[in-house]
Amino acid sequence: FLPAGLLAHAPQFHDFRLLAFSRPFPAPSFELPDLADKPSQLSDFQGQYVLLNFWATWCVPCVEEMPALEKLYQHLRPHGFTVVAVSTDTVETAKIEAFVRKLNVTFPILRDADQAISNKYGARDLPSTFLLNPKGEVIAAAKGARDWASAQALSYFNELLGVSP
């Protein structure tokens, strides 16, 4: 018997394609440079919900979902939520910076040029996205692009974070 509301946050109840794990597990820790070459650790974001997105500039579905990720980030940032995008590109940083500027992306972008961290997460297909709870545990994942700013996605994340629409 499950207490009422225990499954209230399951993505399928919001018609949103995200695989929710019945047992959260610790997210693999990492340290990666941002676009300014400043080291950033996953633990820097502990205490927030984190949408960890693995992507590349050459990946068409990744490019298509970036504006929706930005909208979701702007909507939920004041409520203990962040998006962290990990670029698996092997190109120079300037090309990634130009890409980010062109799309007006403001959430943190980290570099994983050797794909060591994306391999640690099993993110071989791009985009691959992982949802982490404030304790740093992976609670859901998505393979492939999503409309992160759709009504269904916003409903799911609003409910998860206790935010009024």
CA distance 49 to 77: 10
**Helix/strand/coil percentages in the chain, nearest 5:** 35, 25, 40
What CATH number is given to the structural domain containing 80?
Answer: 3.40.30.10
pLDDT at position 18 is: 82
- Taking only the tens place, the pLDDT of each residue in 56-114 is 999 999 999 999 999 999 999 999 999 999 999 999 999 999 999 999 999 999 999 99
Amino acid of residue 95? K
Q: Residue 3: which pLDDT band, with cuts at 50, 70 and 90?
A: very low
pTM for the full predicted model: 0.90
Residue 59 belongs to a domain: yes
pLDDT at position 90 is: 94
Count of structural domains within the chain:
1
Task: Specify the pairing of strand 49-55 against strand 128-132.
Answer: antiparallel
Residue 63 belongs to a domain: yes
Residue 22 belongs to a domain: no
Q: Is residue 150 predicted with pLDDT exceeding 50?
A: yes
Phi-psi region of 115 (alpha: psi -120 to 50; beta: other; left: phi over 0): left
CA distance 35 to 38: 7
3-state secondary structure of 129: strand
Residue 71 belongs to a domain: yes
Which residue range(s) make up the domain with 122? 48-161
